[in-house]
Structures are given as structure tokens and as C-alpha cells.
Structure 1
């Protein structure tokens, strides 16, 4: 069901740990070879290519590439009342957290008459991708849209794959969520072609399309499969991206006090996303490891997506890692850099404070990853594949830029003029010094 990696009695360097720890193998470079012609086709043919590609990959040819506003409103009206209540609460909590994320402007007077300010400016327009393959994710609509709105982005567009059983429209709850959030620019476009549409823009090709179907954006965010990740890689530089998201990951650092049912259930919950999903338990407790293995057998058999879950847990990306103690376990999880990291130990908060690499940290037995997926208020679009060593999850910071504003008066510039000239000459750039001299 799930393999074991026994690191007890071994002292490993960071490099050695990275070699032995499980990780999903995702060949983005190979996928990029497949994706490049798709990007070129969309760039050249616009909506005509988007319809052809939907028919090829999604099995349906959408009449409306851009979803009519009336359809979005109808989706809200037909939304299950309980789902509406749950979405409203998720939106409220996510807005509350993201409102606190916006960085503050500042001004520093480095000398009389010499001021440097920093302003945070939102990007002009963003394209937000919401997957719709093995599952549909209205929760991802919330995470993407609320973060961009909290940043002050003025123009937001959402793309989600057309559904064969929904007349070529995106999932109805996805559309309803967009409408609840005030987003009326929604496209029935999936995969790499959605990334291309956002990056290059797209001309209309049908009598139901506007002449310009979609304007290009400045930033593209949102999770997706390997082809979405490859497309993001190819357009990076033309536009900003959040990350090349890979299969989801959960790591659990647990000691013998952890409840095996909780741990096993949490591993299964993330494994149901994808056959490539990674589920990793790091523990010094052989007893807990055995109990979790036993519980997994029962839980996998009972779960709805049992085939998908079994494949993920049995894959090389998932394992139970045995360590000598929690200190060694901390080294392992910091080297692994999981997208989601749960701490289920005595004094869990103290251990969590010592974690240096994770997309999000879930502390204690009543903070499961599922909470963060929906209702915690945090963002669930997080770095995968070890990218948490250098990258953050999605947030307000993903949609703003820091711009420095420099303002010196004549006396302030005169005080440093000679030193500027000295440094300019030292670098062999005398015209830099001349530009200062010209003012005196």
C-alpha cells in the first residue's frame, strides 16, 4: 500500500536527503515540446484555435468561449443553498486573511531634502486558471480571485475547462463562484490553451465572439496539470506567473502521540487529488507507522476514489519515513519542503516554528490540510515539488509590484555629488558623473 524508507541510524547531508526522499517525477521539459505548438496555434488563430483544441482535448466544441453574463447569473440562481452558504463563509474568511496581507508603503528620509519612498502597485490585469480535469475546484476560484481583488487588481479574467456534459460550459459551481465574487469575464478554456489565451490575448472568430475575445494579461496564476505548468514556463517573461504547480503533496511530521486514524485520513485526503499525488509520513514511532499502514488499508477500500488513492499511495512519490527522533524528522521535512505540512506531535506549535520550508503548515490534530483547502482563510494555491525552499503560496504579494520613488532637492544632491562622481569614475562610467556635474 505504501512503502517505508528507514533513515534510523543514518546521518545524511542535505544532498543525500534530497536523493532518498520520495518525489513525484514530472517531466515539464517533455511536456513543453507538446505544448509549444498549442501556444503558437492560439497566438495565430485566437478563438478558432480555442474551439478546435477544446474539441480535441475536452471532447466538446463550446459555442461560447466567453461565458455570457446571463449564464453566470443563472448558475448562481441554481446553486444549492448549502453550497452557497459554504462558499459565502469561505469567501468571508479568505477575504479577512488576505486583507491583512497587503504590504505597507513607506518613506525614508536619508538626509535633509533626500527621500526614498516605496509604493506597492497592483498589476493591471490578471488571468486566473481553475482546473477542471479529474475534479473541479470552485475553491480555487475563491483563492485566486480574492487574492487579486485584495491586491487591488482592476481587471480579472477566469478560465476553466469546458465540460462535455455541460454543453461546453465550465462547471456550474465554478461559474456561480465567479459570479458571487463579481467576476463576469469567464472563459470555457482549459489547459495550455488557456495560458496561451491569457499571455497573447485572442481575437474572436465566431458571430457570438467580440472582435477581441480576450485581452492579454500581466500575470497568470492558478494550479493545473503538467501541460499547464509547461505552458507557464514557456510564457514566463512575457507575463508573470505564480509557479509551475506540480502534483499535490502532503507531509506529516508525527510522534507516537498522534492519532493513526487522523494521519491516515489526511494522507488519503490528498491522495484523492491525483494518481501522482504525494503522501509522506515522517515519524520516529514504529508503532505509529504500523498503525497508519493498517488504517490505510481500510480507508482506501472505503473511499470513493479508491483506485486513484491506491495508485498515489503505492507510487514512488509516497512513503513512510522512519527517523531516530523528531529532530531528525525536522531535518527531513525541511529538506523535503512539502506543499502541505502537518505537525502532529507534542508541543506541535513549537516544532512548527522551526520549520523553514513548507507551502503551508498545519499545527495540531484539529488543523488538517482539508481545512486549508476550503475554510481556514489561508490560500491553498501553494508551491510544490520543493519550490517552497524559495517560493511562497499565492497571496496579495503575487499581484503587486514594489516601485521605488526617489526625490532629492538641489542641496541633498550637492552633498553627495562628488562621491557619485568618484564611484562613476571607478566603474569606468564617467558620463554618469557628468550627469550630476551638469546640475551644478
Structure 2
């Protein structure tokens, strides 16, 4: 009889407990009685733990959530999805464009096809654009400067096209690059060469034959030579440029200043194949990063790349803690081979140092991650003293803890949104998101 009562009363009691948790939501004042620190603590819940706390290496939402609190990017987006400066105080987007002089093409109205004649024709069109289309006139007005790059001869070696990169024999090439014209633009112009064709001729750019300027050893096919020539001597080239000016006084959590060299280091760490960063595709279009001074850097792209600015929301790493020498010393201390040791193996990934609003404090795997506010944050310290990221795998438990007031936010399920939005005990906030959702169907499986 007692067993029967137990089996009836225990589930009933548990149900009543959960029911009161649903209907009774303690206010912050009630939670703070005897624990005033609760008012300065923010507790977020997640179904899964972070895996690695390094913005260039992490690929899961839990890790990214912590990265966003510990690290800071050059820019981010405001509530209206407009870019705003973070570490970067301001920036300019310009372009440098190039094209090889096509000596075989006839330029309408020009006295010849020599480089000086082509340059002179463009200058005349800038000064007197009458007769050109309105878009072409705008492109000419966008040109800040024109200059001539003289021809040059050089020798290079390249792997044979289409062959296995490890086993491919290298091909020696003698290159006689013709003169090139450089155009400095006030802003990027994807239609520049379409508009310049109105001046230089419709076929000026697409009839440039790079193979005429490259000689290879016997045994190289015409197809292979054409592939190599196109890469070495592209008829036209767009090089967008972003110049960032960094905010003075921004510091990492260990007190070191954040500078342009840290930004360049972050990019180089992403592109280092030893680190196996999932961000490589976002930064592959970068041609080079030039550090102009400690707070100014110039990022040159290989080609037009529309997401370029947005990629610099990436958290910036501290070079002094993760450069080659620092990793070498860490490997030696841990008894590992420095030659095989990479950033992915560093203890930094369990105790990161960034320049974001919160400082890493503690990580108890599969339980909780604690962050403390950064008193030296450039924008002023956050309102909360502590940020806790609790791991609660069960969705129902998350919901019950939210009702009980022991967590402040969690990933609300779609079916809960309408109910919570209509409950006067809660405040509902909504905003624009730079994301999308979709339903994917397995089309390989028959109905």
C-alpha cells in the first residue's frame, strides 16, 4: 500500500512543483533578497557546451556566443543592420584598377595603340566626356588618378596546371609583361571596364592575348600555357581597398594595446593551413594587408568581393600571446614538439584573452562558463558584473528554469513564442536579423 501511495504522490508533487514554477515568476527584487548580486548577473542557457574559445577556429553557436563577449571585431552591425565601428573608428572603401595595354587593338580616335597614347585618350575623355553615356561619365568622374606602369621582364616557375600539387613538375616561364595602366578610384566600380570600353573600343579588353607575352619550355601545351598566362597577366584587374583607422586606447584584457599589427596577425592566423580555420573562404580574396602605422591598416583585395567589410566583424586576436615565439615557448613548457605545435593546440583556446566587454573567468565543461565584465572596456564597462553561460541540454528544463527565474534567457522554441509574447509577466523584444531560415528537403530520397 505504501509503495502504491509513493508512486502516486511523488509524481503528483513533482507536477505541482512544476506548475507553481510556471505560474509564479519571481521578480528581480524577490530574487535579490539575500542575494543582491543577482541583479548584476546575467545568466544565459544553452543546450550544448562550447568547443573552442577562439574566433578564428570556432564553428559552433555556443563557442561563438562566448567569443562575441570576449572578443571584439573592427566593426559590427547596429539594430538597423548598418555597419558601425567597434575597434575601427572609421574606414574608407576605394579601388585600384589595372589593365594591360593591348598593342594589337585599335583605339577609336587615338593616334596609336602605344601606352602613352592610350593614357592620353583616357585623360582627354575625363576632361571632355561629351558623347559618352551617363554611366560612363560617372565612372570617369570616379577616377582620382591615372598612371602608367612601364613594361617589365621576369622569370617565374609555376606548377603544371591540372596536375597533383604535390607531384607536379614546375614549369619555368619567361614573362615580358607589357605596359599597364593603373586607375585609382574614389570608390569601387564593378562596371568600370564596361564603361571604359566605350572609349577604348568594345573589344579592347577581351582581345588582349596574354600568351603572346609568355614563353615556356618545350613540352608545354597551348592549353596549359593559356591557363598560366591568364593567371599571370590578367587583361583587367579590380583591387578594392579598405583602409581602417583604429580607435586609440582600446586594450586587451591583459592591458596591451590593440593595434593594426594584431589585425594583420589575425588574418595571417586564419590563412595559416596549420590552424585549419573554417574562416579561410571569407579571407581568401584578400591580396595583402599593409600596416600603415600602429592604428591604420590598408586591406587590398584580389577582386571585387561584396561581403568584404562584413568579414571584419571577426574578433581580433592578441599577437603577443599567439605569435610563433609564444607558441614555441608554450610547446616547450608542455613538452610538445614546437615544429608540430599550432594555435589549435594552445591553452589559449580554453582561457582566451580578447578586448571585448567581458573577461574570461572559468570554464566547467558541460556545466557553465563564467565571464566577468571588463572594467577597461573602451565603450565603458557593461551593466552586468557577471555573465554566466549555463549548459542545460533539456529544453523542458530550460523552460522551467526560465519560469523560476534562475536563467535570464534561452533559445525559445517557435511554439512558445506566441504564448510568452502574450504573457504580461514578460517583456517581448523583436528586431531585424541578418540571417535567414529554410527547410531543406532530401531530394535524393524517393517520396
Q: TM-score range with shorter-chain normalisation? A: under 0.3
TM-score, normalisation: structure 2: 0.21
User: Which structure is higher in helix share?
Assistant: 1
CA radius of gyration, larger in: 2
TM-score, normalisation: structure 1: 0.21
